[in-house]
Every structure is written in C-alpha cells, then in structure tokens.
Amino acid sequence: MTLLIQNGTVVTHERQFVADIFIEGEIITAIGAHLEVPEGARVIDASGKYVFPGFIDPHVHIHLPFMGTFAKDTHATGSQAALVGGTTTFIEMLAPGGSERLMDGWRTWTGMAEGRSACDYTFHIGVTRWDDETEATLRELAAQGMKSFKVFLAYKGAFGIDDAALYRTLALAKELGVIVTAHCENAELVAQLQGKLLAEGKTGPEWHEPSRPESVEAEGTAHFATFLEMTGAKGYVVHLSNALALKAALDAKARGVDISVEGVVPHFLLDRTLTEREDGAKFVMSPPLRDRSNQAVLWRALEDGLIDTVGTDHCPFDVAQKDMGRENFTLIPNGIPAIEDRVNLMYTYGVSRGELSLTRFVDALSTRPAQLFGLYPRKGAVAVGSDADLVIYDPAYRGHISAATSHMNTDYSAFEGWEIDGRPEVVTVRGQVAVEGGAFVGDAGRGQLLRR
C-alpha cells in the first residue's frame, strides 16, 4: 500500500513547511516538494490543511478499577475516540488495585488491549505496593520494553505507596534507566482534610478542592523531587495543576533534579467553580480543578516549555457512577473524560486563541511525549523512516463538543457545547487511514503494543 499526501503544511516541533509526504507500507519514505505520483498510490490533497505527527497522549486510563467501580471505556471505544481526536498513540496507566499481583495486572491489561485497540499503545507500569515480587516483576517488565513506571503519592489506602516503596522504586528505576511518573499530592494531608471537612458537614463536590489544596500538591511535588534528587532517578510529574506546584518542580529543576512536567487539558480550561453546580460531581478529578488564576500561569509555562507535555488524564465515569458520591464527595469516582478532545481543545484555546505557538503545540502533544517515553523518532516526528502516523488537520472546520456525538463510552462531557476551531480530517496509523471526514474508518484491532 502506498499513499501520497500532497501540498499540506507540515508542522513539526521545530518548523512548518509545505511539502508532499510519501508513505510505503507503514513508514514515511519521502518528504519533499512536488513528489512524483507513483503508479497505484492513493493521493490525498492536503492543501490548506496542516499535517501533524500523530499525537501521543502520555496519560490515559482505559481499564481502571478505582473507587469501587471501573472506568467506562474499553480499549475499542477509547482507542477509536483517541483516533477521531487525532491521537494515534496513548500511554495507559497500568494500575492494579486491591491485592492483584503486578504480573497478573500486566496480563489483565495487555489481554484487554490486544486485538481491540485501533491505535498503538503502551503502558506506564504502576507500582501500587511493594512486596516480595515487586522488584523482580519490574525488572522483567522493563526488560520487555516497559520503560516507564508510575507511582501515586496520593490515594491513601488504595494506589498510594509509602516513602520506603517510593525510594525503592526510584532506586531501581535509576539502575534500569526507567523514567518514573508520579501523581504528587500528599496522601496523609488529603485524608486528614477530608475527615475534617466531612465532620463539619461539608459533603458536596465543592469541598473536593479544599480537601486537597494547592499547597498539598506543591508539597507532594517537592517531596517527589527530593526523592529524585537523593536517588538520581529521572522523574515526570503528571497532571500538575497550579502555580505553587509548578514552582516546586521548577525549583528542583534549577538545582539539577531531572524532572519533567505534564499538564492535562482540564486544568488549562476548567476551574473549581464548576463543582458548585448541581452536577458538580462531573468536574471532580485529582488534583482538583483550581482557581481560574492558575490558568494564565499554566498557559505561559506551556508556551515556554516549562510544562513539557499535555495529556488528558482521560478517566471516564458516567453520571450514575459520579452519583455514588452524592452524600459524600470523597466517594465520587475521580476523573474527567477527554481523550477525544485534547487536540481540538488545545488547538482552539491554545493555538487559535494565541496562547500557544503551532510548533510548541506539536512538541507538547506529540514530540516531547515521544522523546520522554522512548518512542522517538519512531513516533512524534514527520520524518523519513518514522511510522506513518499522521494527522491531516482542517483549521477551517467549525463545530462543538458534545457527549451525544462523542466516541468515548460516557454519557456526559465536561466540555459540553464548547466550540472548536478545527478537527482532524484524515488520520493514519502506520500508513493506514483510520479516520476520514472526522469518522472512524479504521481496523478495530490494528493497534500494537509499543515496546520501548
């Protein structure tokens, strides 16, 4: 199979230029002006459109046992939603709950994804407790190419680990050359504050944010950074939400700690007042939506490259699941669905509204995730020899977000009615067209597990 994409404006993390792109099989084999049309090649006219490298979502939850229930997407629904939204690879948090052994978790997650994901995928290996088997299992999974781990400093009594386990994980990661991603909130402080608020009769979703304030996240971030410093490991703070936590990460970076920062879509666009609504539970995630004043800081840091990447933290629960916390905000399943909307929202409210340059947009949503997590230049690049994962993006499209038209398996959108200035017209996964005219037309089980 050969494919020629003509006359698009190719955008990389460094520059933009008009060119044709030729694809043979799964790989880009030529880029240049006015390439000859080989016999039998399918030709796609990309005049007036951008051609981006396939976007990589570095932080999603598809299969997730959490807070007594399960996130709603399957690898089929999640991956198709990703593709329609321009994401051609996602990195899922593999997070065994309860007493599930890590190696059993590996089998569970890979078994669910294999043959069902339409896009490529890989995993951050969650270290949710430290027992006799943990070290050997982590060594084995790293040897199999799973070169990133995940720890939760939050969620006491669930995914959260103590400092001894954190130290061991980081020391091992340093030895193995594995990057460790971390949810940075101080679990004990959150637990204490939750108890205090509930005792005062403060039970609604608007009390979720005060139960885990900005300074509690900043403490978690500084705490993680100190452990990175002592072990020499390479770290990545997931879903950083506010200016104080950003300062903690940047202070550590300034003294030489190897730390990168991820922002996620909800924190750039939504704020804590949404949890005061009657349907406020829909907007409960952790770290929480913050005071709006943080958003300008996050956008600026993103444009300056101080926030390295943008993920979603896609975590879909439906309205009935959110309702489990009607009488008690600590029982609301945490998470906001967004895997389908990341690219369009960051393009519209970042690039189109002047907060974000086009090259930094590509860098943060594709190239940097690929570089940090060992996928570059196979992914995250428009280059000869790279996988032909491409997004032909129509900046003239106008539409809006709605749960009714979403491919995600949930019944609400936190961005219901939001306008979007553009969308992926055509998306390819390793040379095969998976999206056309905004609709999924791909091969449901074609996605591959990416070993790094």
* Nearest-10 Cα torsion for 344, 346, 351, 352: 50
Within 153-266, strands assigned E span: 179-183, 234-237, 259-264
| Contact (Cβ atoms closer than 8 angstroms) between residue 50 and residue 11 | yes
Which partner from the list ligand URP, Zn ion, none does 212 bind, CB cut-off 5 to 8 Å by kind? none
Q: Shortest approach of ligand URP to residue 127 CB, angstroms?
A: 14
CA 166 from centroid of its chain's CA atoms:
22
Q: Give the burial string for 234-257 (b: 16+ CB within 10 Å, else e).
A: bbbbbbbbbbbbbebbbebeeeeb
Residue 379 binds Zn ion, judged by CB under 5 A: no
* Cα–Cα distance measured from residue 259 to residue 247, given in angstroms and rounded to the nearest whole number: 12
Out of 147, 183, 290, 423, which residue is the one contacting Zn ion (CB under 5 A)?
A: 183
Which partner from the list ligand URP, Zn ion, none does 335 bind, CB cut-off 5 to 8 Å by kind? ligand URP
Q: Shortest approach of ligand URP to residue 183 CB, angstroms?
A: 5
The footprint of ligand URP on residues 260-289 (CB under 6 A) is 285-286
Q: Shortest approach of ligand URP to residue 9 CB, angstroms?
A: 35
Out of 209, 262, 313, 318, which residue is the one contacting ligand URP (CB under 6 A)?
A: 313
Which partner from the list ligand URP, Zn ion, none does 318 bind, CB cut-off 5 to 8 Å by kind? none
* Cα–Cα distance measured from residue 74 to residue 84, given in angstroms and rounded to the nearest whole number: 15
Nearer to ligand URP (CB atom), residue 28 or residue 315: 315
* Cα–Cα distance measured from residue 336 to residue 268, given in angstroms and rounded to the nearest whole number: 13
Q: Shortest approach of ligand URP to residue 249 CB, angstroms?
A: 17
Nearer to Zn ion (CB atom), residue 156 or residue 223: 223
Nearer to ligand URP (CB atom), residue 217 or residue 363: 217
Which partner from the list Zn ion, ligand URP, none does 209 bind, CB cut-off 5 to 8 Å by kind? none
Element holding 159 (H helix, E strand): none
**DSSP classification of residue 336:** B
Which partner from the list Zn ion, ligand URP, none does 271 bind, CB cut-off 5 to 8 Å by kind? none
Q: Shortest approach of Zn ion to residue 238 CB, angstroms?
A: 6
Which partner from the list Zn ion, ligand URP, none does 332 bind, CB cut-off 5 to 8 Å by kind? none
* Cα–Cα distance measured from residue 54 to residue 381, given in angstroms and rounded to the nearest whole number: 8
CA 79 from centroid of its chain's CA atoms:
13
Question: Which residue's C-beta sits nearest to ligand URP?
Answer: 334
Residue 92 binds ligand URP, judged by CB under 6 A: no
Q: Is the dihedral of CA 205, 211, 215, 220 positive or negative?
A: negative
Residue 315 binds ligand URP, judged by CB under 6 A: yes
Binding mask 162-201 for ligand URP (x = CB under 6 A): ---------------------x------------------
Which partner from the list ligand URP, Zn ion, none does 257 bind, CB cut-off 5 to 8 Å by kind? none
Out of 8, 204, 325, 335, which residue is the one contacting ligand URP (CB under 6 A)?
A: 335
Tokens of 415: 């961005």
| Contact (Cβ atoms closer than 8 angstroms) between residue 394 and residue 400 | no
Nearer to ligand URP (CB atom), residue 154 or residue 248: 154
Nearer to ligand URP (CB atom), residue 137 or residue 334: 334
Sequence-distant (6+) residues with CB within 8 A of 71 are 61, 62, 63, 64, 315, 316, 317, 333, 335
143: buried, middle or exposed (CB in 10 Å: 19+, 13-18, 0-12)?
exposed
The footprint of Zn ion on residues 213-252 (CB under 5 A) is 223
CA 332 from centroid of its chain's CA atoms:
21
Binding mask 54-73 for ligand URP (x = CB under 6 A): -------x------------
Best CA proximity match to 205, nearest among 140, 122, 289:
289
Give phi and psi for 277, each to the nearest 5.
Answer: -70, 165
Residue 208 binds Zn ion, judged by CB under 5 A: no
Residue 208 binds ligand URP, judged by CB under 6 A: no
Residue 313 binds Zn ion, judged by CB under 5 A: yes
Residue 334 binds ligand URP, judged by CB under 6 A: yes
Interface positions with ligand URP (CB under 6 A): 61, 183, 285-286, 313, 315, 334-335
